[in-house]
Structure 1
Amino acid sequence: MSRLNPILAGSAQSTEAYRQAIAQSSEAVAQWLQQPEMYQGKTVAELRERITLDFNPQGLGNQAAIERAVEYFLKDSLAVHHPQCVAHLHCPSLVVSQAAEVLINATNQSMDSWDQSPSATIIEIKLIEWLRTQVGYQPGDAGVFTSGGTQSNLMGLMLARDAFFARQGHSVQQDGLVGNLKKIRVLCSEHAHFSVQKNMALLGLGYQSVTLVKTDRFSRMDLTDLQEKLAQAEANGEQILAIVATAGTTDAGAIDPLRAIAELAAERQIWVHVDAAWGGALLLSEKYRDYLDGLELVDSITLDFHKQFFQTISCGAFLLKEARHYELMRYQAAYLNSEFDEAQGVPNLVSKSLQTTRRFDALKLWMGLEALGQKQYAEIIDHGVTLAQEVAQYVSEQPALELVMQPQLASVLFRYRTQALSDAGDAALALFNQKIGDVLLESGRANVGVTEADGVTCLKLTLLNPTVTLEDIKVLLALVEKTAGQIAV
């Protein structure tokens, strides 16, 4: 047992084992970062064949276990920092975020009660207070860090549901769901994140409760159709539980008209939740902050910091406009958030979270803000949005490339299109672009997204890497055209 030094503790032996393990892992990462390929190009079948588990009864020891992790995991990992890795909302991370992970992992604080995470609890609360000021909410600490957008959206919809029933004198928390549930509706745009449907199913109201609102040519929620859907719901005797607006759709980066939606909802006392998992980064922007006009009016907000805030996964937050709504999910357990603690002013964050045990992910954002400062943070956020505009202009000038939609955040939707492909028909054109994306990934040279925009299959560049330049993207687009030339129509 002593050979393995299994527990991190204050002994000299444990501390030395920790230093060796961290040094070995750090050196392996430093070497991996220098590899020229974006991906080693192994298929699913090849990885299944290659990866084996070696649970030796006597154990392999730390050094050998790390060596195996480097060989079977690290070397075959996707290099998200690579300039040709642009398929998804999957960012490279700040160096200081990596340093934060070392502190988070070593201390292993659990954010459910103050006596498990004393300083961490206070730091998270202060960050929530700061985030609220960036939004324009009243001073307060109603909010919590989460694992990401899906969980934050679940919290927003759950509290919207429970507030909806509470206004009718009914407690979902105490008595469960009642009434004709098929008459309850949530409205969101047809380009909203799939977690709206997923979460409504989890909340007991099903996919059927979600009504999709049409969007305009920029994938933004259409206000005229929203008004028509509201009127239609009223005519059908249906009740609107919430409207979910999006600030940064996954593909187009579209931001719904937040102020107009919030004002329309306020007239009818409808909860508005904004999924700003991507677009929320513009809270720090110096150039594009006005894109989020009206955000301060909504009832709850999703933020993700493992997108265009460049933090390691996972790191998100949920903000709640009015703290009183947290009463809808409060549960007291003597061993975590006792009445005695509350009377003494002890902040136990389990009352604000769907999770019990929870990582101290807030440290990454805190360290990122302190290391970069708001001005430099704004610059790297704005870089992606500005670069997308430059790339779109370049794409529109290339004869074999077609810009599918003008960019709004840091994504560019385009497709490879020649006259011969157009003559072959829409299905052939769609399949051809799909093949381009597949071949690029299989080669390990690039990871370009493949998606649909209003029925058009297209390629997607998600430009979250602040070190990527227009010249890097020109190289990638040349690779797209070269690959297209190698594929038979």
Structure 2
Amino acid sequence: MNILEQTKQDSKNKLVVVNHPREHIFSNEKIGISNYKKSMKKAIHAISNTLKDRKTPFTGKSIAVLREKFNKIQLEHFKETHSLEYVIEELKELYLDDCVHFHHPKYIAHLNCPILTPTLVAETFISSLNSSMDTWDQSTGGTFIELKLIEWTLDILGFPTEGDGIFTSGGTQSNMMGLLLARDFYIKNNYDIDPKMEGLPADASKFRVFCSDVSHFSLKKNLSLLGLGQNAVIPITVDADFKMDVKKLELAIEEQKQLGNIPIAIVGTAGTTDFGSIDPLPIISAIAKQNKLWFHVDAAYGGGLLISEKHKSKLRGIELADSATIDYHKTFYQPVSSSGFFMRDKSFIDYIKYHADYLNSKEQEEEGIPNMVKKSIQTTRRFDALKLWFTLRMIGVEGLSSYLEKAIESAQFTAQYLSERKDFEIIHQPEISAVVFRYTPYSGLDATYCNLNSHIRKAMFNEGKAIITSTKVKEEVFLKFTLLNPLTTTKDIEEVIDLIVFHGQQYSLKN
């Protein structure tokens, strides 16, 4: 026990170690640095052992078993102090042993990518130095790193030099910013009011936003939060490839005008969550321009295609958008959270910005000091840009794009493999890396197929050997692979499909 530790007797006369608070403050003092090094080494050791010991993406533990572990922990236990070894060992039981491993080659469920080692190095700097990106005097060099990456992203988007952007927490926040700008841009140009000061005009209940009926749920959620209501969303039916039907879009815009409603924006999706489908962006842009509507592109999923020479043409038309969403924590292989919102004209920032004298006074901006908080709906914000910086500096654009290209190849293999089998139905060809299908070992029993495929998904999760997910298409249950791991092999895919067949056969025998 070192001199900064003391002991006490608990109610059961057990000796309890109580660490002096000074030891746990991260500082330049010798004891703080020593504790930091030892603690990080122990954490890395625990994580490494977790990776080494686990052979499956999940253990299959039931929710009842996991809940029971936490039911044993009482709030008064937080008054006790323990060594780091104790806390890590406790964490092993509560979390590490049963944590879902997104990096596992047979995790092919949601849009959770495996992450890159350079990003974990960056995370060490981010969390340890704890820069906040809202003001220059809290971030200095970090500000310029983020600005450089914003400039890089604007370039690959094909946005004009007068464009701008900001790192965000994720696609939902970025989409909210796009819809906020669309709303206030329309108000500012059509009403004699300033929405920042006076709120929404009476006509706001008539505002309408158009998107495909397989676009992200955040559009409805955000329009509700923005005071326009979920009914402001006009869903447009999709074609056989799950892309927005542009003829139906034109008809819907005209119909809403006839009803006395006010179209203000169109959202094109570049990579729908379920199918990875990409709307016809050039045509949608032309329709938006013709009707004087804001054009936002949600490329949270598909944004990674922009750095692939082989696939970037799929996003042709995104350069015509007024604003765009990109999630680096999907197809750029970054840890959550790492996302961005981008606009083609930095003057649009006026609809967001606010000056607080203690943060970003007007005098500072006049002096040329970068003002990041005016572009963000967050104030305190992590230095998440550093993860992408490490990635690009260590791996480069071509290396980074090769991961997604391999995932797309895996999706194409899966689609071909399933289409050649008689016991599976595949309903689309993957444009990025999502494949939607269902197990159909017999014919004429669609309702049974829903129960069968729903059972397969649950049974596989409860077993833990592989994790897939499911979705609904026209109220029928389908299975889904989201392939993002470049280490997932064709053998892995075939083995996951064998598991689907096994659990499907087990269900059929019992039912």
The answer, yes or no, to whether TM exceeds 0.5 is yes
* Residue in 1 that maps onto 2:454: 434
Please give the per-residue CA displacement for 1:114-135, whole angstroms capped at 9, x wherever unaligned. 1001111110011001100101
Contact 2:353-2:375 within 8 A present in 1 as well: yes
Residue in 2 aligned with 1:360?
383
Single out whichever of 2-11 and 381-390 deviates more from structure 2. Answer: 2-11
The structural deviation recorded for 1:309 is 0.9
1:465 has 2:488 as partner: no
Unaligned runs of 5+ in 1: none
Q: Write the letter of the residue equivalent to 2:100.
A: L
- Among 141, 166, 173, the alignment partner of 2:196 is 173
State the shift of 1:396 in Å.
1.1
**1:52-98 deviation digits (Å, cap 9, x = unpaired):** 44634241133322222232111110011111111100111111111
Deviations 1:337-369 (A, max 9, x none): 001110111012110001000001011111111
The aligned residue for residue 15 of structure 2 is none
Q: Name the counterpart of 2:51.
A: 33
Q: What does residue range 441-460 of structure 1 map to in structure 2 within 5 Å?
A: 441-460=461-480
Answer with 1 or 2: which has the greater Rg: 2
Say if 2:68 is the partner of 1:73: no
Q: Secondary structure at the match of 1:385?
A: helix
Q: 1:113 aligns with which of 132, 135, 141?
A: 135
Q: CA deviation at 1:180?
A: 2.6
CA contact (8 A) 2:163 2:345 kept: no
Partner of 2:284: 261
Structure 1 position 140, deviation (Å): 4.2
For the 8 Å contact 1:81–1:465, the answer to whether it is kept is yes
Q: CA deviation at 1:141?
A: 5.6
How far apart are the structure 1 equivalents of 2:375 and 2:32?
36
Instruction: Tell me the residue number matched to 2:413.
Output: 390
2:39 corresponding residue in structure 1 = 21
Q: Report the Cα distance in structure 2 between the residues aligned to 1:346 and 1:364, rounded to whole angstroms.
A: 24
Superposition pairs for residues 101-250 of structure 1, below 5 Å?
101-140=123-162, 142-168=164-190, 169-250=192-273
Distance 1:49 1:374 in 2: 46
Residues 136-192 of structure 1: per-residue CA shift (max 9 Å, x gap): 111246100000000000000001111110002321101001113331101111001
Matched residue count: 486
SS of alignment partner, residue 378 of structure 2: coil
User: How far did residue 412 of structure 1 move?
Assistant: 1.0
Instruction: Measure the CA separation in 2 of the matches of 1:81 and 1:39.
Output: 11
Tell me which residue corresponds to 1:280. Answer: 303
Q: Is the 8 A contact 2:163 2:344 kept in 1?
A: no
CA RMSD across the alignment:
1.3
Percent identity, aligned pairs only?
Answer: 39
Normalising by the residue count of structure 2, what TM-score does the alignment of the two structures yield? 0.93
Identify which of 411, 433, 453 aligns with 1:410. Answer: 433
Contact 1:218 1:406 in 2 (8 A): yes
The 2-side partners of 1:63 and 1:121 are apart by: 37
TM-score where L is the length of structure 1: 0.97
Matched residue type, 1:83: P
8 A contact 1:128–1:141 mirrored in 2: no
Residue 454 of structure 1 and its aligned partner are, at CA, apart by: 3.7
Q: CA deviation at 1:378?
A: 1.5
Question: Structure 2, unaligned stretches of length 5 or more?
Answer: 6-18
